[in-house]
Amino acid sequence: MNKTAVMLTSILATSLAQPAAIAGPEEDRAAFVRYFQSRFPDVEFDEFANGIYAIDADSRRQWLEIEEFPPYEFAIEQGESEWQQTFANGRTFADCFAQPSDSIRAMYPRYEEARGEVVTLEIALNDCRAANDEEPYAYDAEELIDLTAFLAFEARGKAVAVRIPADQPGAIAAYEDGKRFYYSKRGQLNFACSDCHITSVGQRVRADRLGPSLGHTTHFPVYRSKLGGMIGLQQRFLGCIRDVRAKPFELQSTEYRNLEFFLAYMSNGLMINGPGARK
Ligand code: HEC
């Protein structure tokens, strides 16, 4: 084992914090929230939407300074002009959605019964392009990330509200799959997401402190100063999976969409506050 692995292993020698009795998504979510609230009794529920900045006063100060001149502002502006652009057939993105632009972010991810799969905002936007005879974007294309930045900004203050209807076994199966992924060990370092973002939350890993998974999805996409650009939620999944030296999946693969579905459900009731700024 190398130095990093030894350090991480010792960090993770604390007890594993899987939610106890598993009755269904709502019970899971309640246990998830209870866990973080008992670990951080001074942190208000709404604050968990701010990730690591909810629990780390030092980095919070730096972040609040960054937020005075938000580095993601350009992405919002670009996204807005993308949104308003007319396709060759004269239609626009807005024509694909029944809802106004401030009510779209909160609709995704969602399980679409007719398709038998979880549809994310990125998929819905690309479907819209395809339906209008435009080339879909690559899932890491700046245009697509900027569109999600604009729609997140429009939706600020609306609650995350992922639905898992009890009469949709496919939705429950997708949720269970995402949950299994989240708690499964992977990679040469043999870590599950939960090992870092539940069990060891608050601890340091190299220069970073580990943030809570409650609220993980509310603020994406984010501007990462380390990268000097915007990334989407699934690009972050990919980064964390690479960090444990596991093989990453494709962006918008079934695995990542189900994981997003599970994680977004865990954040139900928190306010959308994207786009965000992160180290
Ligand atoms: C070895 C520890 C480790 C593992 C395992 C890990 N992560 Fe992370 N993750 C980090 C660190 C460090 C950061 C940056 C600090 C922070 O925000 O938590 C981070 C950040 C994130 C963020 C961004 C948080 C934000 O507020 O912007 C998300 C989302 C995330 N991880 C999801 C996952 C998922 C999903 C998995 C499992 C596939 C996972 N992580 C596995 C260490 C880990």
Task: Answer yes or no: is pLDDT of 260 > 70.
Answer: yes
Nearest to residue 218, comparing CAs of 143, 178, 276? 276
Cα(53) to centroid(ligand 1), Å: 14
Q: How confident is the model at residue 23 (pLDDT cuts 50, 70, 90)?
A: confident
Cα(77) to centroid(ligand 1), Å: 28
The answer to whether 266 and 29 have CB atoms below 8 angstroms apart is: yes
Whether residue 240 has its Cβ less than 6 Å from ligand 1: yes
Q: Which of 63, 72, 197 to mutate to test the pocket of ligand 1 (most atoms within 8 A of CB)?
A: 197
Identify the residue whose C-alpha is closest to ligand 1 atom 7.
240
* Angstrom distance (rounded) from CA 215 to CA 269: 10
Q: What pLDDT is attached to residue 50?
A: 97
* Angstrom distance (rounded) from CA 44 to CA 159: 15
Task: Answer yes or no: is pLDDT of 11 > 50.
Answer: no
Residues near 145 by beta carbon (within 8 Å), at least 6 away in sequence = 75, 221, 230, 231, 232
The answer to whether 235 and 142 have CB atoms below 8 angstroms apart is: no
pLDDT tens-digit readout, 154-210: 999 999 999 999 889 999 999 999 999 999 999 999 999 999 999 999 999 888 899
- Average pLDDT score over residue span 131-150: 98
Atom in ligand 1 nearest the alpha carbon of residue 216? 29
Atom in ligand 1 nearest the alpha carbon of residue 206? 12
The answer to whether 195 and 187 have CB atoms below 8 angstroms apart is: no
Q: Which of 96, 193, 196, 240 is catalytic?
A: 240
CA 116 to chain centre: 21
Whether 96 is catalytic is: no
pLDDT tens-digit readout, 83-121: 999 999 999 999 999 999 999 999 999 999 999 999 999
Task: Answer yes or no: is pLDDT of 3 > 90.
Answer: no
* Angstrom distance (rounded) from CA 143 to CA 95: 18
120, exposed or middle or buried, with CB in 10 Å at 0-12, 13-18, 19+? buried
* Angstrom distance (rounded) from CA 107 to CA 121: 8
Identify the residue whose C-alpha is closest to ligand 1 atom 35.
237
Handedness of CA 27, 21, 170, 32 (dihedral sign): positive
Handedness of CA 186, 189, 190, 192 (dihedral sign): negative
Q: What pLDDT is attached to residue 6?
A: 39
Cα(201) to centroid(ligand 1), Å: 10
Cα(196) to centroid(ligand 1), Å: 7
Whether residue 196 has its Cβ less than 6 Å from ligand 1: yes
Whether residue 255 has its Cβ less than 6 Å from ligand 1: no
pLDDT tens-digit readout, 118-134: 999 999 999 999 999 99
Q: What pLDDT is attached to residue 196?
A: 97
Task: Answer yes or no: is pLDDT of 43 > 90.
Answer: yes
Q: How many CB atoms lie within 10 A of CB 239?
A: 13
Cα(210) to centroid(ligand 1), Å: 7
The mean pLDDT of the chain is 92
Tokens representing 164 are 């898992």
